[in-house]
Structure 1
């Protein structure tokens, strides 16, 4: 097993110091968390984990979600193990913070799982920050390791952020009140908008405003489960401004998909097809999550070899794919094995 004291792009971690910005969450507090829908999942299986020497670390793979990189590591302290979640910002981002809810799940020998839930604030300190917790190494050995493997799953949701985005290209505040007939409230921020224009762009808003629902006569409507910055970017895109970039696109796409906004969805998909430098794996994840058929079709058409398959779907994630996609990838893997003397087993792919 690869053992490292530090990982490229991460701070040195000879001994992770618990961050005071991390707070464990109980069931009661969990219900009070204001959600944004900006969820993501990280999975990793650490092999031969019991062979990890004291003072050494092992890392999961890095994944980009909502414009920043995320990964976690296991550290073997003298009597404990530490699990640490890292956030790594693009070089173009200056001083910024991300408040996040996250839940670590550990696979146990019985097939059950044990989880820990936290809220933490990540601060952009020279490009990265980390938060984590510790547990007795003996508990890891007895409860979580099976056949020398430790399966870890992280469910996370970005709750709020500061400093990630540049100046706003268009205002939807009280200065636009005279040309608006509705106020939409997102996480306490008011957006002054036109019912007619939103209805022309979104099936959701068309139904809400024009089909006799009680909200259609209300001067102010509260929108739940979304982020105010993402909604701002969504509106800017609808009004024709060039707001799409590597950091904003996923948040805009989340809103556009939620409110069934075809023009915005198409623009996001075209950006991912023609402009974006995101990894093939990330594009594939977004194509599946937001039903981007053109993007998904192009990616699958470009997949030819087992190596290509590994690039878009890691072993831990195969069970989460649609049966039709698994079937397509299996056929491509079989074709690749028949066309070359490849020693990879199909079991390791699917």
Structure 2
């Protein structure tokens, strides 16, 4: 199911349909903060199926338009499906077509169910729901900043008619605007309450949630959050907004491109430009009055027009560690003998340079790795292809396996630069490939192996952050400068340790024993709204998230394991039981679709809590 849209699925496996003759079978689930019930029973010789919306009848008006498809699925592959458009709404609404449940009293006859669909009495009944419109549904807060969190705050920000209780140090840490306002020489730095004018309180709620590591961004909230992120100069909030627009947003390409220019979002702009594949795409992006467009955009679109009319864009598999550096030359005569033309780009946190020059009547091409020569040994092994592409469709390509590394490395096969001083004769370039003096030169690299690359910190907690801290956590040989209020807000462990009656609450430095400092760095980055989680760091972060009882960190770890992680099903299932991750456990169970899958997750350390679920799954599959 396409989860970025407002769609959901409810499924019920019935292992003996005869049970429906004397009992109602129901499945209740919550989707998009709305409770739903799938109700199944036998009535008067028919199979009856209804989908019920359990939202309470409040005084405020609410309405939801949906497209509901109900299916009966047989083990042998046969199925029957029926679709209906439904309007769920307050039950006291006077309109006759509004109800709290929709379905079919006589979805099919019972005889047909028994004879044509049930196999050994077993069937699956499923409802697929697409929400078309929601009216009167306000977004629920993901985190409270009201008086209930007063103990964690030292400042109250008044926005409209609402008060937000928060921390000066944390706001200053996240935003240069609040650093100046609340920690500088302004009068507000001495006040316990500060009024923020001309700000939408819902946007401010979402902004605070975002910098406190929640995920309030969707296509409805993004523009308000991004506006405040830029206004308050909050790098992490801007980064999270840009990531959403690049990876998840369903907004049109035109809107995204306009936002990239308005808020100077370079990654988003590059992504939008990469999605432009034709002149018609460009036409769709140009406003009726082109003079009203951002000048930087019109310049980029013009460049894209030139490239599109000259060449067809080549595709790369961006899901792997591959990258492409491309250079468009509109007049090869500009490549004067001995003068180097270069393109520098950063890929996978490594700087690269494509070097192009004319030398002794040859075209010379090289790809250089600009990573600094650290004391530590490092190496990048690549498969690199250098190409000259002509507007007429012809090309010349040379491929080589390259080993980039520290120049001090004694291995004679390791260099910082690979390529060919005599890639092709200049006459051949001019006569056979250049059309009106134009060619494209590109380097494509596939990274085969990386050695000696440690994860770079996404956020600093060293002495440079001292002005934003009131506590130093000592982990191993490293010191982490942070805030007691913020740690207490994020973790019940630190609330007791640093804000309670323990001796540590009076200390300026606290030692945390038996903790890996890299894991603690990653944990701090996560609760400060960064994204340090990958398949290498997840277990260390999750261990600390549970140890310190940090709900938001646990939630973010579980989301990663459910949606992104490439760890095996067996490992994920073990983590779900070890750390009591219910959503992950359900996801793992749902992915077991064969006896072989079941065998793959069985181990001597299998947690008893999932034995019942696995047994049920086994019986269903047999």
Which has the greater radius of gyration? 2
**More RCO (CA 8 Å, sep 6+):** 1
TM superposition score normalised by structure 2: 0.28
